[in-house]
Structure 1
Amino acid sequence: MSKTVLNVTGLSCPLPVLHAQKAMKGLPPGAVVEIQATDPAVVQDIDAYCRSSGSALISQREEGGVFTVEIRKGG
């Protein structure tokens, strides 16, 4: 299955999560979305989104001020 990459660098909370929600809406269960953000709150915000939506946070990392979070859509 392919991965959707969502670049939301430069945006602040809650915009990264709102963009992620919109991207996930049209995808089938099991789809993976990689979110690239510069707002450090994105990790906590995406974790909370996953818990409320049934999706799964599968990885997170930070490199050079860019936070990369991968989530898998639940179904």
Structure 2
Amino acid sequence: MPDKTANLRGLKCPLPALRTRKLLSQMAAGEALTIECTDPLAAIDIPNLLRETGDTLEGSETADGVLTFRIRKRAR
């Protein structure tokens, strides 16, 4: 399964979380999704979204103002 990457740079709250939710809903269990955001509120919104959906945050990092989240779709 190839990983998916979404460039959500430039989008403001709540759009990064809403787009992430939509992308996750279209994925199969076990697939990985990498999200790139520039909205600082995504650091709060994305982990909160994953607590709701039950998907796993495998890692996150910030570099040059870009927040990157690696998410694994949970098995249903």
Compute the TM-score of the two structures, normalised by the length of structure 1: 0.94
Task: Find the counterpart in structure 1 of residue 63 from structure 2.
Answer: 63
* 1:3 matched to 2:9: no
Cα deviation digits, residues 17-70 of structure 1 (max 9, x gap): 111111111110111110000011112111111111010111100111111011
Structure 2, unaligned runs of 5 or more: none
Aligned to 2:48, the other structure's residue is in SS state helix
> What is the RMSD computed on CA atoms of the aligned residues?
0.8
Task: Find the counterpart in structure 2 of residue 74 from structure 1.
Answer: 74
Compute the TM-score of the two structures, normalised by the length of structure 2: 0.92
Counterparts in 2 of 1:1-75, with a 5 A limit? 1-75=1-75
> How far, CA to CA, are the matches of 1:22 and 1:69 in structure 2?
15
Aligned to 2:49, the other structure's residue is in SS state helix
Structure 1, unaligned runs of 5 or more: none
Aligned to 1:19, the other structure's residue is in SS state helix
Ranges of 4+ aligned residues in structure 1 off by more than 2 Å = none
> How far, CA to CA, are the matches of 1:59 and 1:50 in structure 2?
12
